[in-house]
Amino acid sequence: MGTALEDEDPNDLQLFHEAVKGARPVKPSRILHPPKKPKPIPRQLIRDEQQALIDSLSDHYIPAHELESGEELLYLREGQSPMVLSKLRRGFWVVQAHIDLHGLISDEARLYVAEFIADCKKRGLRCVRIVHGKGLGSRNKEPVLKHKLRNWLMQKDEVIAYAQAKSTDGGSGAVIVLLKA
């Protein structure tokens, strides 16, 4: 059994050589396309967005009004029907997502809450649970994040109302939040 060239008709080979005798080799740079430059990473934009999330929640916010009933956290944005808060407390809306702030320091928790609410807004979620803890592990055995979370949530336009979770959902260590549709 011979090679492909031996099996070819000699006239075909001569015709081929005749056809390509004036040809020049193509330069490799003309064959290979240079790799495309990667898209730049908008690092400053990412930093700006993170800072905006942090800045959007202040520990020093003083609400114009809030509803208090002892230690229970309750809030209803001005202009909303009291029925909204009543429905929220009774569990009318299904909790669609939740986060747990246990073990986070205040600054970490603030950023986590801001990112969580922004993500929920993007995903179109209405009802969420935020577990802040009861403060049993804190220095003074007081819930530090509970009070800060209350102020942070009141500053977010997306928040319509919030109420302390039912005991089965975390009780005084969690809050159920209703977000704008």
Q: Measured between alpha carbons, how far is 181 from 179 in angstroms, rounded to an integer?
A: 6
Helix (H) or strand (E) holding 97: strand 97-100
- Per-residue pLDDT 10s for the chain (181 aa) are 555 555 667 788 888 888 888 888 776 665 666 778 888 888 888 887 777 766 666 565 555 444 444 556 789 999 999 999 999 999 999 999 999 999 888 889 999 999 999 999 999 999 999 999 887 766 666 778 888 898 899 888 899 999 999 888 888 889 999 999 8
Give me Rg for the CA atoms of the chain.
Answer: 32
Q: Measured between alpha carbons, how far is 122 from 88 in angstroms, rounded to an integer?
A: 21
Please name the residue that has the structure tokens 């003309």: 30
Decide: pTM greater than 0.75: no
Domains delineated in the chain: 43-57+64-179 (3.30.1370.110)
User: Which residues have CB under 8 Å from 53's CB, separation 6+?
Assistant: 111, 114, 115, 118
